[in-house]
Structure 1
Amino acid sequence: MLVLSNTNAQPLTFFLTGIPGLRAALVWISIPFCLLYIIALSGNSMILFVILREQSLHEPMYYFLSILSTTDLTLSLCTLSTTLGVFWFEARAITLNACIAQMFFLHGFMFMESGVLLAMAFDRFVAICDPLRCSTILTNTRIAQIGGGMLIRNFADMLPVVLLVKRLSFCSSTVLSLSYCYHVDLIQLSCTDNRINSILGLIALFSTTGFDCPCILLSYVLIIRSALSIASSEGQQKAFNTCISHISAVAIFYIPLISLSLVHRYGHSAPPFVHTIMANVFLLIPPVLNPIIYSVKTKQIRKAIVKVLIQKWLQM
């Protein structure tokens, strides 16, 4: 059996996969994927632009939203080149080092998104449960510290994961099952013991999304309890309305993530293309829907976008 390792003279090359069984239709399938990428990139860029431009949006909630949009932009860019390269040009080859780099940023910013959603849940908790102290608790310095802390956490979680991939040796099969590099997908091709890699991957997952999700749920239990203590029904409705956008963002991140995990674990009878399409769409759902949700549900964002578009139209 041919054994390949990263210490060979020739760089180790892997081959990405489009959609199994639908190779002839890849060009047509790429059209909706391309449209989704365009929506994700343009939508999140617009959110970032209006938050930076409008002084009225320089508040904790919108600072966290700008971090979320930056994360979504990076997630989209992480897979854009390889996915469309496979679909359009059959550019399937990728070196191990490039694969590890993509995997580092892909997983790192997935964990970053989970952390941002937790930070936004904390912002909603403070705004509803202790509104008088909101400006003193969530200062610009503290928001920067939270963002920096999330980056450090993700870097510390992912660095040992990707470094240990370098020690693996791979057998003759170097065909990945997706159009981008995914940690579990890559280490499964190894013909050496990958238990440490699997354990580190699980530790990284549980120390990020596995920690963030229960904390988000706990914050909403406290938010609901605080909102229900408000005497007027109008006040209760106003409190809940401020959380709708964030609840939607949490749902479109965690529900596809859980669904994809369940399909991988229990959906063995499903055709291979179902797994591949779900894995590709999963990464596009939050970046595509988050700017739409916040544009529709948040009046300040909607007004700022309309103002920018009118100014651009008048300048033409």
Structure 2
Amino acid sequence: MSELTVRVTDRRDEAEGVFALELAAAGPGALPRWTPGAHIDVHAESVGQRQYSLCGDPVDERRWRIAILREPAGRGGSEHLYRTAHPGTELRVSLPRNNFALVPSAEYLFVAGGIGITPILPMLAAAERAGARFSLYYGARTRAHLAFTGELARYERVTLVPQDEAGLLPIAALLAETTATVYCCGPAPLLDAVESEGARRGLSVHTERFTPRRVDNGVDRAFQVRLARSGQVLSVAADRSIVDVLEGAGVAIVTSCREGTCGSCETTFLEGEVQHRDSVLSAEERARGRTLMPCVSRALSDVLVLEL
């Protein structure tokens, strides 16, 4: 089972433009377990699938919670759910998937911007249970745009940074003063700043993106993909993705976002040189050279051998 149907049991506003949905299994039985940092894909009918972090209690098998930033000028997913997702509504969702898992550490620095607080919420509780030291810096445009502040009030080392009152999150200063493991989620400029400053200081930095990383990909070129199990060789034109070619050849592969952010299509490769274009794999994972995201990644070599 890769998908299930859930029912909205509660809906509430959590901040300016942010609404939370509480979800329960539509049928008998418990919901699948998940770990802090996990997200699910939610089907928004003709609009497509959208990814939302689980931000409730991982131990609670009766309820999930997601929070959605309403973006009237966005791609349509949040606006569709804003209009249609009310108590009693049934939604088709994926099983939880975690590309942002909380690694063991004695100390954490959490940095969140706007709706990026959602995967961080269960991490705070997990860090507290583990007895780790942690602090959170959470920024948004105004105080009204800061979500879940009532829940955050129970933690001592939480600093709220409304931009209209205090300016942008002081990333350079925060990372200059810590040796902690850093977790960050939020808008792309915030993630870029944390990744850049963290790399400069040699810190362990973990980020999650729900929009593709901006990179200069150069000029696309054609290459071939060989499937190790069958020996089949497929040609990937410069204007087609590996996923498109695999699906066209009848090769079953799980996909969701098709833009390198969700990790659902992660595939092992055995030979070849990969141009990674995803926003999921860390620098260390790319250096190990074991997997790629065929929805966006391409080959720098003439042939890629996939474990398919």
TM-score over 0.5 for the pair: no
More helix by share: 1
Q: What's the TM-score, normalizing by structure 2?
A: 0.24
Query: Which structure shows the higher strand fraction?
Result: 2
Q: TM-score, normalised by structure 1?
A: 0.23
Structure with max Cα Rg: 1
